[in-house]
Amino acid sequence: MSEEKQLTEQESLQLIANMIQKAKGSYHDTGIGSLLWGAVVSIASFVSYLQREYDFTLVIDIWWLVFAAIVPQVYISIKEKKNLKAKQYDEDVVNAVWLVFGISIFALSFYQNIVPVQTEKYFSQEGFTMMKHYADGRPDEIIRPFTPSLYSVYILIYAFPTMVTGMVKKFNPMKIGALITYGFFMLSLFTESKYDMLLGSASALVCWFIPGIILRNKYLAQTRANV
Amino acid sequence: MFKELDPILHSQLRLAVMSLLISVKEAEFTFIREKTNATAGNLSVQVQKLKDAGYIEVVKQFKDNYPQTTCKVTPEGIKAFEDYVKALQEYLKV
């Protein structure tokens, strides 16, 4: 492209439109992050469902898989940032939303683990305990405090950053995934908690894994086109 | 009466650079060169002209021991670009 060429008004407008199009088309998410989290959360949720349905335990808590996925995610983020030659306006917003999502998930898992223990402690200090009383005359049973149907809240939170990303990036697969997940959240309010795990597994697939496949295919197609 | 077109922007390569930079938050020199198909020398001269006009900010730094030049449009650049597009639309009655 030469500097000196005299442009007509029509050519100027055409050039502006072309360059804006080129800039917009230059960025494609690699999809690896979406695939990673979609797979990890879906597997962990599905295994949790199987554990409850068939009453078995594993050597380690399957949810450690989710914590372990942070390591490759950090590596992927650093590598992608290094290769990025242009920064988009919406990037900071999307990154902030996912950071807040990560913090919220961690906070919720702390809530899930700490609240029952603390509640039991307070009950014991006050000198009472929670009991299950059967109407049919069977003997009462002690119940340990728990957070009922908490996985529904996780499902609700899965939808939030996915919907924001879908709206900001104008990426329909994520918007659709988030909408389906809101539906799963509503459904999970009426299901037993073990089925909530199954719904959570499906949520991770529609929110992240399937959009991840679409993003990955788009990215690979663009990479091939640039070679 | 038609508004005169900004001579800084009314040049093929400078307009291409501004159009790219208006679409992103910031971009590396290599990215602009790749998208405009300009030579490094020519692009450097035009980037400098845009910088002198106050339309873009140019940051030179080292990344992994390699020099890296990053360009970013300024608020003055955005205003000039908007005025330029409005003037074009007036000419073309779009």
Any domain includes B46: yes
Q: What is the pLDDT of residue A55?
A: 92
Is residue A4 very low, low, confident or very high in pLDDT (cuts 50, 70, 90)?
A: low
pLDDT of B2 over the 80 cut: no
Structure tokens at A202: 């499906």
B interface mutation test: which of A2, A3, A11 has the most B CBs within 10 A? A3
Which ipTM was obtained for this model?
Answer: 0.88
Greatest Cα pair distance, chain A, in angstroms, is 95
Q: Among partner residues A3, A13, A92, which is closest to B11 by beta-carbon distance? A: A3
In a domain, B6, yes or no: no
Contact call for A20 and B26, based on CB within 8 A: no
> Tens digits of per-residue pLDDT, A33-80?
999 999 999 999 999 999 999 999 999 999 999 989 999 999 998 888
**B81 belongs to a structural domain:** yes
**Which of B31, B35, B89 would best serve as a mutation to test chain A binding (most A beta carbons within 10 A)?**
B35
Question: Out of A2, A3, A26, whose CB is closest to B35?
Answer: A26
Cα separation values, A33 from A30, A55, A70, A77, A107, Å: 8, 32, 10, 8, 21
Instruction: Give the residue, B4 or B30, on which the prediction is more confident.
Output: B30
- Does some domain include residue B1? no
Q: Which of A224, A200, A217 is nearest to A34 (CA)?
A: A217
Q: Do B35 and A85 touch (CB under 8 A)?
A: no
Structural domain tally of chain B? 1
Q: CA nearest B11: which of A176, A209, A11?
A: A11
A103: left (phi over 0), alpha (psi -120 to 50) or beta: alpha
Banded pLDDT at B28 (limits 50, 70, 90)? very high
Q: Confirm whether B76 is domain-assigned.
A: yes
What's the domain range around B73?
Answer: 12-88
Contacts of residue B37 in chain A, CB cutoff 8 Å? Answer: 1
Q: Is-contact B52 B11, C-beta < 8 A? A: no
Average pLDDT over residues A147-172: 94
Nearest to A31 by CA among A177, A226, A211, A203: A211
User: B31–A10: do the CB atoms touch at under 8 Å?
Assistant: no
- Answer for the pair A141, A189: CB distance below 8 angstroms, yes or no: no
Residue A146 has pLDDT above 70, yes or no: yes
Specify the pLDDT at position A94. 92
Tokens 């989710």 belong to residue:
A66
Tell me which residue in A1, A85, A92 faces B16 most closely, judged by beta carbons.
Answer: A1
Query: Does residue B7 lie in a domain region?
Result: no
B2 located within any domain: no
What gap in Å lies between CA A108 and CA A119, rounded to an integer?
Answer: 16
The answer to the question of residue B94 being in a domain is no
**φ, ψ (nearest 5 deg) of residue A24:** -70, -40
Beta bridge pairs of residue B69? B60
What backbone phi and psi angles, to 5 degrees, belong to B90?
Answer: -65, -45
Confirm or reject contact between A89 and chain B (CB < 8 A).
yes
The reply to whether residue A87 touches residue B12, judged by beta carbons under 8 angstroms, is no
Torsion of CA A77, A79, A81, A83, to 10 degrees: -150
CB A194 within 8 A of CB A53: yes
Closest CA to A37 of A147, A169, A161: A161
Q: Does A13 contact B88 at a Cβ distance shorter than 8 Å?
A: yes
The CA distance from A159 to A173, in Å, is 12
CATH of the domain at B34: 1.10.10.10
